[in-house]
Amino acid sequence: MDNSSVHKFNVQKLNGDDVSLSAYKNKVLLIVNTASQCGFTPQLKDLAELKETFKDADFEILAFPSNDFGGQEPLDGAAIAAFCESSGAKNFPIFDKIRVRGSFAHPLYQFLANKKENGKLSSVPRWNFHKFLIDRDGHVTDFYYPFTKPTASKIRKKIERLLAAAH
């Protein structure tokens, strides 16, 4: 397995089921840490809009709730699922709440944030809704700070380029 790929990681769904990110091979991914009580929470609807834009393409959004910033994700499990659905985020998977920074960060986020591990860039999430863009081979290609809306043209154009690239 390619050690510079997110496909080597397993994550948990909100119901506790394990998911291998290798299930997303050949898909362009946007990985986002989310929170229900954040000023950026309206981006859940923007994420759903972005997913709809690329609904017929090999594109997926993977959302990871986190309580690492300001205690802005007090919910767990089914309560997170219900909140996300009521916020319009029902067309992409929401995974179990994880840590996304510091020594207790989930291994996926340790990988995403560290150039020594991912081979491309270092970008530790500074707040909720930090976004990582992943190519079809599972390699980190770019990141976007929380204030960049998921529907921003620079994100859409980069997704289009990655989708158009041969794999």
Tens-digit pLDDT profile for residues 110-152: 999 999 999 999 999 999 999 999 999 999 999 999 999 999 9
Q: Does 6-164 carry CATH code 3.40.30.10?
A: yes
How confident is the model at residue 1, as a pLDDT?
60
Is the confidence at residue 166, as pLDDT, over 90?
Answer: no
How confident is the model at residue 88, as a pLDDT?
87
Question: Which of 11, 29, 30, 38 does the annotation list as catalytic?
Answer: 38
Is the confidence at residue 35, as pLDDT, over 70?
Answer: yes
Compute and round to an integer the Cα radius of gyration of the chain: 14
Q: What is the C-alpha to C-alpha distance for residues 162 and 18, in angstroms, rounded to an integer?
A: 27
Distances (CA, A) of 135 to 6, 26, 40, 92, 142: 10, 8, 25, 17, 9
How confident is the model at residue 167, as a pLDDT?
59
Burial class (CB in 10 A: 0-12, 13-18, 19+), 6: buried
Active site annotation includes 38: yes
Is the confidence at residue 84, as pLDDT, over 70?
Answer: yes
| 4 touches 35 (CB < 8 A) | no
Confidence of residue 34 (pLDDT cuts 50, 70, 90): very high
